[in-house]
Structures are given as C-alpha cells and as structure tokens.
Structure 1
Amino acid sequence: MLATITELQRALDRGETTSVALTRQALDRIQDENGEGAATFIEVFAEQALQAAHASDILRAAGLRRSLIEGLPMSVKNLFDIAGYVTLGGSAVLKDAEPAEHNAVIVDRLLKAGAILIGSTNMTEFAFSGLGINPHHGTPRSPWDRANARIPGGSSSGAGVAVAEGMSVFSIGTDTGGSIRIPSAFNGLTGFKPTAERVPSEGTMPLSRSLDSNGPLAASVECCAIVDSVLTDQPYVPVAAPALDTLRLAVPTSFVFDGIDQTVRAAFDRAIALLREHGAQVEEIDIPEFDQLPHINRKGGFVCAEAWSVHRELIESKGDQYDPRVASRILRGKGIDCADYIELLDTRQAWIAAVESRLERFDAVLMPTVPVVAPRIQDLVESEDLYFASNGLILRNPTLINFLDGCALSLPCHASGEAPVGLMVAAPAYHDEHLLGVGAAIERVLPLRGK
C-alpha cells in the first residue's frame, strides 16, 4: 500500500527518512530501465529536485516545516508552465516554442509550500482523450496486468503511473472530462476533481475553459485534501469524516451502468453493500438529465468548440504533426457556430439546476468512475473504431460531473490483487469540503483502506 502524506511527514519528523532519501528513491524508480519512467515523464528535474530536497532537510533540522507537503517529491502534468521549460502539452507540435517565463500559479504554490518538483508527467496530447495513449512520447503501462500492457487512463496518464509506481508522492493533473479520475481508477489511486473555480488556472494550457479543473492524484482522501489546501491557498483543516449512518447517498438507476463489465459491477455492488452494512442510506434515483447529455453534446459540446478556439491557428499550420485521433476531435469544433454555443450555455445552466434539485436531499451521488477495466494499449492502437468507442465509454461517467461544474472523488473500491476499479463520489459545485469528508468516511470501509 502506498504511504500517505501524513505517514511520510511522521517519518520525516522522526528522522526515519529524509527528503533527499525520498527524492533519490523517486528518481531511482524513474531511471530504472525496467520500469515505466521513460514513458511516464517528459521532463525530469533530478539536480534541481535534489538541491530542493537538501534545502528542505536543512529547514526541518532547524525546526521549520512550511506545510504538510514539505520535502515530499511531487510531479505536475505537462500542461503546467514551469519557468525555463517549454510547455509541450504532451505534443511534438510545440517543441520549438518559447520556454515559459514563469511557473503556473499552482506550481508556485506547491514549491513555496516545500514540495519537491521531481518532473513533468506525460499525457494524452493536449489532454484530449481519456485513454492516455501518446504516439509522440510513449504510453506508460498501468501497474495492473503489466504483461498485457493496459492503458493508464488519460489524459493525466503519467500522473497516475508516477504515483502508483512511487515516482512521486502525489501528482497534479487536469480534469476536463475525467482526466484526474480515470487514471486514478485505472491505477488504484484516489483522485480529486475540485469545483473548477476554486483552483487557479493561470499558467495552465487550456483545453476547454468551461470544463477544465486542476487537482491531485494521491494515496488517500486525506492526501488529496492536504494538497487541495495548497492549491487553493487555504489553511489545511483536517478532514472531518461523518458517521456513515448519517449519510444519504444516491445511485443513478440508468445510463452510468450501460456497458458495464462484470469486474466493475461486482466491485461496485460490493462497495454499496459495505456502505449499507455500515448504516449508510443508499437510494437508487432516476436522473433523466444524465441520459440527455449525449444529445446535448451531439455537435461536440464545449470541449470541441473551445479546443478549436485554442488550436485553430496551430492545427491549420501544423495539423500533420498532431496525433490524428486528437486532431479529428479538435476539428469537430470548427462546425459549431455562435448560435450553437450560446444554446449550449443556456442548456447547461438549466441542466445544472435540474440535476442539483434532484441531488439536494443527498450527501453525494455514487457511480462507477469507469464502467470497464483498463483495456489493452495495443488493441486500441490497432483499431480506430475500438479507440473511439472505448474513449467515449471511459469518459462518459466522469464527464457528467464536469458538465455539472461539480466536484468528485474517485476511490479505489477493488480488493487487493483484483483489477483496479474506481468508485466515483460526486456532488454539486462548492460542496468540496463536505465531499472530502464523505469520501473519507466511505474510504474507511473499502477493501484497500478499510479500518
């Protein structure tokens, strides 16, 4: 089981390890020729990381600790500006672009809090897929069933594998339609997609300004809450987990279970049974608005319209250098006109109001993060039809919460030795603090972290 931020801080405070030792361990795992480091990271800052770790150890020896992430190796997705480096967005198209002059706001916040930036992680090109496949920089394999080379999930593919493989204690990803929660589900991690407005986006390459959000992938709900406090520049308040028998939880009756496989169904049903056994009220409810979302997004939705706005000049001049499967989705936005976009804005507000009304009696809504276990990389590379069908299915459930402008966790709900399965725990916008508490309560009875 991965060590949590709290456990590592305790070990550092007791002198059982040092920031330099943790950083060297992370770098060794990245540099292991038999591991996934080469495909997990686009940039590795070995020398800078070791220097920062040494400084952190000096501060700690003097009785100073800047935050609860002091001295811990972390990584950020290749969408975040790092001063002096080109922000590639997982692409080859921008290799000749000017380096960033400043760090992204949240990168600065993490560094000032004492975290050790170990590197910039690989991703789907320009964050436009939930699979994590990248023809430019390689595709890291999920830790599960490595012999069959399963996808890591995207678009924050390297972020998920980096944490799962101990190459960083936590990682920062982006989530436009599930890109934090999907790799968390496929790599057996906890991922937190906050209400988008809570975390600054300055210095982050956009995909869809209406849907993008930034958040952590880590070992536990508490870890995510600690990192979230740094990202939002708020004092950390320990997560208050309510008693399960005080919680009322909703499970949608349709749509989110379409196409589910037996492994995910069994893990989800087992999790629900555990929650009921511990006194939680779990109620199945109809949310017909969920079924409406594919029709609402039939022309490509916000993501295609806004991705086209971002990429239109670059893709027209260098389109042959894009991953064709990413380019084809961006180009869908070319056909969305102003009237379509305005209609989408209005429809979204009415949709959000309707869904929030259905959820107001509940502490959270539960569903499988992804309805299938991670498919094989090669199968998706070889088949255009399978690639797009799998991408749509894998993004489907998480996308609901982005359109809601809500907040969500993905919690590992499988048993040890089983294929990783994520349980999504979600709520409307600005319910983040309560959701983290609900997630912590649920986490306690799930197989991997049950107490």
Structure 2
Amino acid sequence: MIKRTVGKVTKESVSAGDMADRLEKGSLCPVELVEETFANIRSSDPAIFTELLEERALKEAHASRQRRREGNTLSLWDGIPIAWKDLFDIEGRVTTAGSVVLKSNAPATRDADMVVNATRAGLISIGCLNMTEFAYSGLGLNPHFGTPQNPHGTGPARIPGGSSSGCGVAVARGLVPLAIGSDTGGSIRIPAGLNGIVGYKGSSGVFPKGGTFPLSPTLDTFGPLAADLKSCIGAAEVLNGRAVAMPKPTPISQLKFFIPTNVVFEDAQDAVIENFEASVRALERAGVTVTRGVCTEFDQIRALTAEHGYLVGPEALDLHWDLVHSAKAAEMDRRVLERILDAGDLSARDLIVIQRTRAKLIEKNRQSLGNQIILYPTTPITAPELKPLEQDGELYQRMNKLILRNPGFGNFLDWCGVALPNGVDQNQMPTSILLSMSGGQESSLLGAALAVENLISQDLS
C-alpha cells in the first residue's frame, strides 16, 4: 500500500498569508524576520542561493518596520520575504542565469519589472536562487553553483527538479515563503511537484517580462512557488502591481475535469498513479464531473517534435549563438551546451512548421476544452536519485525528457497551470497533481484549484 501525505503543505514550508497576519498583529517584526531568514539560509544547503542581498534586505526590513509603526504600510504583504530565480535582474548585480560565463557582463542598471512591483508593495528581496544553467533542463542540476538537494525522502540525495531548483527547495525548507520562477517547459511546476509544494504558472503575457533573462521568448512564462495556493495567488497580484486579493473557491460541484488517457501516464510510477486516482475519487465523491478520453493534441505534438524538433531549441540557439561558438562554451554545463547545439540540425522550414502548427493546435485545443480543467500527474515519477544523473549523461537526457513531458504540453498549448501536492511514495517523496486551463482563464483555474486544494487536504488528513 502506498503511503500518502497528511496535510496540504510540508512540515517546514510557511504560508505567506499566515506570515502577513502575524506581521499585521505585531507578533512578528520585519527586521527580526529578515535576520532570522538569513540565519536559517546560512545554516542550510549552500547550493540553494547564488547570492544573498543582505544589505538591501535589511534596509527594506527597517523601512517596513517603520511603516508598520506609523500605520502606513504599502500593502497587506509589507515585510514579507521573497526570493528570485537568478534570471531576474537585481539592480547593481550581474544576472548569472545559473552560469559562470556571464560574470563579466555589466551589472543590471534597474530591477526587473516584477521585482519593482514587489518592492513597491513592501516585499523584501532576500536573494537570488540557484537554477539550471540558462534554465535549460527540468532536473535542476548545476555544476557551477552546486545542486540543491530535495529535502524529502529517505536514502540517497534526490534531485530538486528544475529549472527553478533553488525556488522549490527554498520554499520546501521554509527558508522563504515565496520564490518566483520561470516556466518554459515545466520549470515552476516540476520543482513544486517534486518538493511537495504549490507552483503556479500563468499563460503567456500574464506576468511582465521586463528585466528577465530569456530561454525561449515564445514559451517563457512566470509565476510563484509557495507553501499553499493562496500565497501563490497573492504573489501573482503583487507581481502585476495589483493589491493582494483572493478569489473565492469555485463550488466543487460546478467543476468539470478532463483526464487524458494517452501519453501522460506512460512510464508512470505506481505511487504516482495510485495517488492520482485517489485524488480523482475524492473529487468524484464531492460531485465534480470527470471525463476521460484521448487528447489528440498530445499525439500531434509528439509527431510534430519527432519530425521537426522542439520550438525552444532554435530560440535558445539564437539567443546563445555567439556564446556557444566561442571559447567560453567550454565553461558551460556540457549537458546544456549539447542541448543548445542540437538545434543546429533544424532547418528554417522546421521552425516555420512548428510555429504554424502550434498556433493551429492552441486554437483547436481551446475549442475542445472549453471550460474544462485538464487534469493529470505533474510528473510521471517522483524525484530520482541525484548521483546517477550526475554520472551518466545518457540517463540524464532520458530522465530530463521524461520529467519535462507532462508539464511541457501546457507551454506548447499556452495553458495556465497549478501543481498541487497530493501524496508521497514509499520513500516519502512527494507526488503532485496538475490542473491546467487554456490561456486567459487564470481566474477560473485559480478558483477551481483553491477548491481542489481544500478537498485534497481533507482527503489526505
């Protein structure tokens, strides 16, 4: 029998909403909170952060404390710590994007747009979080800054998931309540799923991209990782320069789910399937409508990529063309370098066919899904052991493809998506359930996901 988790968040992770309540009541001081945050970070895995922003954070914390004393807070979340995947520009520092080859670049002259919006709301920037080099892997390994270790499980160290590896581990360890990442093929939802926390990615254009280091201008999306969905929703409002607000959970009986029977369950572990089906049974008992069937777009995407390649490839190659054809390429993670160079085999026609077909499939899928929520496991497996992936390049590429498969469909079809924890396997590694809707239906998705999160939490307990 597969053991399932109890509770909706991990033991160490902390809710931003709960923290905001304590700040408002005066039982928590912004300065003491930031000092404690840095102390916890220094005693934790050194591979989680690439750089700490102590001087800036303490200055912001003192300003937040003064505002609270004067009753003049910038927002409900004034004083909440936040950390950024190291592809967001922070004024005065070089944005590394998980690489050492960019260290000679000029420092950023201003914060990224989302960092600006968070600062205007009084949130305190703690530091920059580790990631796969140039965000080009779903496993989270980094030979330059080290690989953050998944805090869960028994036995050997497990991968954090990527590319937002530091984001997932920082939140799961309770070091920060909010971490902001990017998602080009699953890079928010994978580390959220593998670390037993919540991850939300918007569809294209939902979050401001200014001041972010790209991987694929077409597929890049953004969003928060947190202990619970309410924290993610609040963060999404802040990142867009809006006041913290919370949608109401959608009545569970109004929800309609579509579960694909093709592709997404291939090579899935028993625990992943068992926990997924247990979650579905809980939904059905609550009165939701569940339909199962073939998602034809999945098969078409598979056929398209088999014949013409992946869209992210030529875009990444274009972005890094000068670098990968220079002497500095020798300093890159060889696995990332190989993936970028592989796109050189694609023709101009391949790229045009991929772009044209993607547009057609997005519209076709939008029409077929309607207001249904597509539902399946975030990843088909729990986090695998780290060491074999460091040693075996062929295994690395095979596992990377498997980990990226399920969430990657959402990027290609421009979905918004939420990954929710829904259990653990026999080794205490988290499993996760992924809810997605067509782009532009973020409000509907988040209202539904709030209801599902509550229901799954009750079922687990």
Q: How does 1:35-184 map to 2 (within 5 A)?
A: 35-36=44-45, 38-145=46-153, 147-184=155-192
Residue identity matched to 1:338: A
Following the alignment from structure 1 to structure 2, what is the Cα–Cα distance between the partners of residues 450 and 25?
31
CA contact (8 A) 2:271 2:424 kept: no
Following the alignment from structure 1 to structure 2, what is the Cα–Cα distance between the partners of residues 141 and 187?
10
Residue identity matched to 1:226: G
Corresponding residue SS for 1:237: coil
Q: Using a 3 Å threshold, how does the CA distance of structure 1 residues 361 and 217 change in structure 2: closer, same or farther?
A: closer
1:413 counterpart residue number? 422
Following the alignment from structure 1 to structure 2, what is the Cα–Cα distance between the partners of residues 162 and 21?
19
Deviation at 1:6, TM superposition (A): 1.8
Which deviations, in whole Å up to 9, do the C-alpha atoms of 1:249-291 show, x marking residues without a partner?
Answer: 1110110000100111111111111111111111112112112
CA contact (8 A) 1:81 1:203 kept: yes
1:308 counterpart residue number? 317
CA contact (8 A) 2:88 2:112 kept: yes
Following the alignment from structure 2 to structure 1, what is the Cα–Cα distance between the partners of residues 369 and 323?
42
1:358 counterpart residue number? 368
Instruction: Give the alignment partner of residue 39 of structure 2, picking from 28, 39, 55.
Output: 28
**1:193 correspondence with 2:201:** yes
Following the alignment from structure 1 to structure 2, what is the Cα–Cα distance between the partners of residues 159 and 63?
32
Deviation at 1:375, TM superposition (A): 0.4
Instruction: Give the alignment partner of residue 240 of structure 1, picking from 248, 266, 279.
Output: 248
Residue identity matched to 1:301: Y
CA contact (8 A) 1:407 1:426 kept: yes
CA contact (8 A) 2:257 2:290 kept: yes
Corresponding residue SS for 2:423: coil
CA contact (8 A) 2:186 2:404 kept: yes
Following the alignment from structure 2 to structure 1, what is the Cα–Cα distance between the partners of residues 198 and 275?
16
Corresponding residue SS for 1:276: helix
CA contact (8 A) 2:261 2:292 kept: yes
Residue identity matched to 1:117: S
Query: Percent of aligned positions with the same letter in both sequences?
Result: 38
Following the alignment from structure 1 to structure 2, what is the Cα–Cα distance between the partners of residues 4 and 166?
9
1:252 counterpart residue number? 260
Following the alignment from structure 1 to structure 2, what is the Cα–Cα distance between the partners of residues 371 and 415?
13
Q: Using a 3 Å threshold, how does the CA distance of structure 1 residues 162 and 191 change in structure 2: closer, same or farther?
A: same
Corresponding residue SS for 1:394: helix
Residue identity matched to 1:313: D
Q: Using a 3 Å threshold, how does the CA distance of structure 1 residues 196 and 242 change in structure 2: closer, same or farther?
A: same
**1:328 correspondence with 2:338:** yes
Following the alignment from structure 2 to structure 1, what is the Cα–Cα distance between the partners of residues 69 and 460?
35
Corresponding residue SS for 2:199: strand
Following the alignment from structure 1 to structure 2, what is the Cα–Cα distance between the partners of residues 136 and 292?
37
Following the alignment from structure 1 to structure 2, what is the Cα–Cα distance between the partners of residues 285 and 60?
53
Question: How well do the aligned residues superpose, as a CA RMSD in angstroms?
Answer: 1.6
Corresponding residue SS for 2:179: strand
**1:17 correspondence with 2:28:** yes
Q: Using a 3 Å threshold, how does the CA distance of structure 1 residues 374 and 443 change in structure 2: closer, same or farther?
A: same
Residue identity matched to 1:83: E
Following the alignment from structure 1 to structure 2, what is the Cα–Cα distance between the partners of residues 6 and 202?
27
Structure 1, unaligned runs of 5 or more = none
CA contact (8 A) 1:185 1:410 kept: yes
Corresponding residue SS for 1:96: coil
CA contact (8 A) 1:189 1:218 kept: yes
Following the alignment from structure 1 to structure 2, what is the Cα–Cα distance between the partners of residues 125 and 241?
37
2:433 counterpart residue number? 423
CA contact (8 A) 2:424 2:431 kept: no
**1:4 correspondence with 2:15:** yes
Following the alignment from structure 1 to structure 2, what is the Cα–Cα distance between the partners of residues 435 and 216?
15
CA contact (8 A) 2:164 2:182 kept: yes
Task: Say which is worse superposed, 247-256 or 123-132, in terms of deviation.
Answer: 247-256
Following the alignment from structure 2 to structure 1, what is the Cα–Cα distance between the partners of residues 424 and 397?
30
Which deviations, in whole Å up to 9, do the C-alpha atoms of 1:395-436 show, x marking residues without a partner?
Answer: 001110000111000001116993211110000010001100
Following the alignment from structure 1 to structure 2, what is the Cα–Cα distance between the partners of residues 129 and 145?
22
CA contact (8 A) 2:418 2:436 kept: yes
**1:433 correspondence with 2:443:** yes
Deviation at 1:338, TM superposition (A): 2.2
CA contact (8 A) 1:105 1:201 kept: yes
Which deviations, in whole Å up to 9, do the C-alpha atoms of 1:131-173 show, x marking residues without a partner?
Answer: 0000011001011126411000000000111111122110000
Residue identity matched to 1:295: A
TM-score by length of 1: 0.96
Deviation at 1:233, TM superposition (A): 2.4
Structure 2, unaligned runs of 5 or more = 1-10
Residue identity matched to 1:254: N
Following the alignment from structure 2 to structure 1, what is the Cα–Cα distance between the partners of residues 16 and 389?
35
Higher relative contact order (Cα pairs below 8 Å, separated by 6+ residues): 2
Number of residue pairs aligned between Structure 1 and Structure 2? 447
CA contact (8 A) 2:84 2:181 kept: yes
**1:228 correspondence with 2:236:** yes
Q: Using a 3 Å threshold, how does the CA distance of structure 1 residues 39 and 76 change in structure 2: closer, same or farther?
A: same
Following the alignment from structure 1 to structure 2, what is the Cα–Cα distance between the partners of residues 69 and 165?
21
Deviation at 1:53, TM superposition (A): 0.9
Residue identity matched to 2:391: E
TM-score by length of 2: 0.94
